[in-house]
Amino acid sequence: MKDIKRYSAVEFKATPLKNENRGNWDVVLEYHGEGEGPWLVDLSHRTRLDLQCADLAAKKPFGITIPETPCRSVLEKGILVNRMNRIQTSIYHLGGETMDIPKEKEYTDVTEATIFVAIFGNNVFSICEKLSALDFAGADQQTPFLFQGPFSHVPCQIVTLSRDAEKSGVVLTCSRGYGKHMIDGILHAGEEFGLTPAGEARFTSWINNL
């Protein structure tokens, strides 16, 4: 049987220099002219799960304790776990190449239903404040932390992973139907700050140094 080819809804007007096929996704590792940052990286091929359970305290996805407070997040072993509300948690795969999906019925794979991007480097929060009234710098909050709200007028989940000078960065996910609108809006907002598309290798280097 022929493998199903998977496509990201994110499209960059940039020339790939290095890419590879991974799990039937065409993953760009590096683009021509990535510059000095800030960068926008498509991570839509990285697994994302939705966990819904009446007793979240009884669940430890991938051995990770789910935060008790909504909008709190924890990053362990390359996996980001975000408490959304009383019964719901989102899980993002940020490290490594594969992540086995739990067999329990409470988990739903939402990878192909959504887009997933990272914005990181200099002036990230200056870019974000042009697209949302939410305070992603969140000086009074411990990173990582989650916001659920509008970004470029689109309902999103946005997680601030770091606010440390040049290491500042966020990841965000939304319905894949908004992909073109979202990417156009982010790149337009970041134009004055030199925001450029970058490949997965740039993100991997950044996340490994947080």
For the chain, what is the mean pLDDT?
Answer: 94
What's the mean pLDDT in 103-107? 94
Rounded (5°) CA angle 67-70-72 = 50
Contacts of 98 (CB under 8 A, 6+ apart): 23
Q: For the residues of 35-87, what is the DSSP string, one character each?
A: TTS-EEEE-TTS-EEEEE-S-GGG--GGGPPPPSSTTBEEEETTEEEEE-SSS
Q: Strands (DSSP E) along 124-168, which ranges?
A: 145-151, 154-162
Residue the block writes with tokens 């337009």: 188
Give the distance from CA 130 to its chain's centroid. Answer: 19
Residue 201 reports pLDDT greater than 50? yes
Taking the C-alpha atoms of residue 62 and residue 77, their distance in angstroms, rounded to an integer, is 9
Residues 24-48 have pLDDT tens digits of: 999 999 999 999 999 999 999 999 9
- Indicate the pTM of the whole model: 0.95
